[in-house]
Structure 1
Amino acid sequence: MELRPEKEKLVALAHYKMPFGKFKGRYLVQLPESYLLWFRQNGFPDGNLGFMMKQALEVKENGLEPLLIKIRKDFPMDSR
C-alpha cells in the first residue's frame, strides 16, 4: 500500500504559511485555534488555502501540532 500522496500532503500542510492578514507569514499550525474556528463559522477561503486551513484546524483539534512541527523539521522545503 503506497502512502506517498498522503505524506506529500502532510509535508505541504506543515510548511504552508498564511498569505495575508494579521498572521501573514505564520505557519497555519501556528495560527490560534480561535482564528481558525472563526473561519469555520464564517467560511474558509476558497481553494487550496481554505482546504489547508481546514486541515490545520483538524490537526489542532486533535492535538497533533507536534507532528507537523516534526515533519517540517525532518522534511525541509526548498526555499522559494
Structure 2
Amino acid sequence: MNPDLNPQDLLDAVNQTMPFGKYQGRKLLELPEPYLVWFHGQGFPNSKLGRQLALMYEVKVNGLEGMLQELVRR
C-alpha cells in the first residue's frame, strides 16, 4: 500500500466522478474493471485523477470494491 495514502484519499477517490469520456459522471468506484485495465495499459494521467484511477484499478483487480461500497455518497 502507498505510504502516502491516507483514509481521506481513499474516500475522495471512491466518490470522485469521471470528468470525461464514455463514463463521464460515474463514480470512479463504479467504473467497469475492463476500462480501468485499459487505462492501466495506456498509462494513467500524471494528475490527482490519474492517481485516483490507479487506486481504483488496484481496488478492482483485487476484488475489494464490495468493501468500499458503503463509502459512496449518493
The TM-score range, normalised by the shorter chain, is 0.7 to 0.9
- 1:26 corresponds to which residue? 26
Residue 19 of structure 1: how far off its partner (Å):
0.4
What TM-score, normalized by structure 2, do the two folds share? Answer: 0.83
Residue 17 of structure 1: how far off its partner (Å):
0.9
- 2:68 corresponds to which residue? 68
In the TM superposition, what are the counterparts of 1:47-62 in structure 2 within 5 Å?
47-62=47-62
Note if 1:16 corresponds to 2:16. Answer: yes
Give 4+ residue runs of structure 1 displaced > 2 Å after superposition. Answer: none
Percent of aligned positions with the same letter in both sequences?
Answer: 41
Provide the aligned length of Structure 1 versus Structure 2.
70
Q: Which has the larger radius of gyration?
A: 1
CA RMSD of aligned residues (A): 1.7
CA distance in 2, matches of 1:44, 1:52: 9
More helix by share: 1
Unaligned runs of 5+ in 2: none
What TM-score, normalized by structure 1, do the two folds share? Answer: 0.77
